[in-house]
Amino acid sequence: MNIHLSLTPLVSLLAGILILVMPKLLNYIVAVYLLLIGLIGLFGTGSLRLP
């Protein structure tokens, strides 16, 4: 059984939850989100395969 786990939707979901819980940290959350999505795009680790 293979589990296909995509990283970008998980990062987006986590960022959205953090923004809802702590709206004062919006600038930092957006900055970290953009950095993570950029790194995921550059290194091509958009999906992980867990055995």
Give the burial string for 28-37 (b: 16+ CB within 10 Å, else e). Answer: ebeeebeebb
The pLDDT of residue 3 is 57
This model's pTM is above 0.85: no
Tens-digit pLDDT profile for the chain (51 aa)?
555 567 778 888 888 888 888 888 888 888 888 888 888 778 765 455 545
Strands (DSSP E) contained in the chain are: 3-6, 47-50
Enumerate the domain spans of the chain: 9-44
* Residue 45, pLDDT score: 58
Number of H helices, E strands in the chain: 2, 2
Distances (CA, A) of 26 to 11, 23, 32, 39: 15, 5, 10, 20
